[in-house]
Each structure stands twice: as structure tokens, then as C-alpha cells.
A = this chain, B = another copy of it.
Amino acid sequence: MENSQKALVLLRQIIRSTDMQDKEISRGTGVTPPQLMVMQTLREHTQLTSGELAKEMVLTQATITSILDRLEKKELVARERGKEDKRKVWVSLTDKGTELMKGAPTTQQDIFVRSFEDMQNWEQSMVVSSLERIAFMLNAQHLDAAPLLDIGELDRNQQEYAKK
């Protein structure tokens, strides 16, 4: 089989695995995968407006609104109207939400991290730079396929990634 075909099959397998993991976490926590992703995004940024959240997750604001409604009802996130600009709504994890994120979701990652750290250092570097290649190719591909987005938006996203 061609190397490129092998890569595609493996990528699909990887995505499938993470997908199944998400479902497991979901079952364990009573939080749906999209809700979980919102919470993960909030954990990384500590505070975001719902508009920023929508852009980050590539969903419409309306969708974010409904997910936030449910998370708020469960008291996992809190909304607060902006003080200076009252149109904005700042969203953040509640203590309860932060607590939940300390549990199952990270233990899954921990297992991965432990396996990863069992590798030799040279192998770790190899894997990381391979993932960089893949990520770059896929990203370029997306830029090719959708040259419609405004540059500002793309720029902003890249800055988000650069932060980490």
C-alpha cells in the first residue's frame, strides 16, 4: 500500500479513537461531547465572550448560546454581562465546572502522556515533528479549499494557537 494511503487510514483510526474516548468521557460525566469541548476551550482561555467561543469552535453563535444554556443550567459555566461593553457576555467555568474538568477528562490524557513518555527522546521528537507535518498539510489544505474567510480571522486563530 502507498505510504499516503497508510497515513490516511491511520489518521482515520486516530480520529475514531479520540471520538470514542470523547463518548466515554461523555458517559462518565453526564456532559455531551460538544459541551465538553466548550468546557475544554474555557479551561484554556479562562474567560471568553460567547462570540469568541463560537469562532474558536467554528460554530454559529446561536449554537453556542444553546450549549451554554444547558451548561449554565447544570451550573458548570457562568455568564456575566460585560461591564464596559454591555453587549458582550463573558463566559467562564464555575468552581463546579473546574472541578469536573479535573476528573475523567484529564486522566484520559494522562494515560496518553504516560505512554508517550515511555518512548525514547529521539522518538518523541520524531513523532512531534511528524504531527507538525501532518497538521501543516491539513491546514494548508483547508486554506486552499476555503480562500473565502477574511484574513483577520485566520490571523487571529493563528495567534490563539501561538499562545500555547
Q: Interface of A with B (CB < 8 Å)? A: 1-11, 13-21, 23-24, 58, 108-109, 111-113, 115-117, 119, 121, 123-128, 130-135, 137-142, 144-146, 161, 164
Contact = CB atoms under 8 A, between A and B. Distances in A.
A109 to B, nearest CB: 6
B141 A111 contact: yes
A84 to B, nearest CB: 31
23 contacts: A3-B116, A3-B125, A5-B113, A6-B128, A9-B161, A10-B135, A14-B138, A17-B135, A17-B139, A17-B142, A19-B58, A20-B58, A20-B142, A21-B138, A21-B142, A108-B145, A111-B141, A111-B145, A112-B138, A115-B140, A123-B133, A127-B134, A131-B134
Contacts of A18: 11, 15, 138
A115 B130 contact: no
Contacts of A13: 135, 139, 161
A112 B164 CA distance: 26
B24 A145 contact: yes
Contacts of A112: 4, 8, 137-138, 141
- Max chain B Cβ within 10 angstroms of own Cβ: one of A1, A6, A119: A6
Contacts of A4: 112-113, 116-117, 124
Contacts of A2: 113
Contacts of A7: 116, 124, 127-128, 131
A67 to B, nearest CB: 16
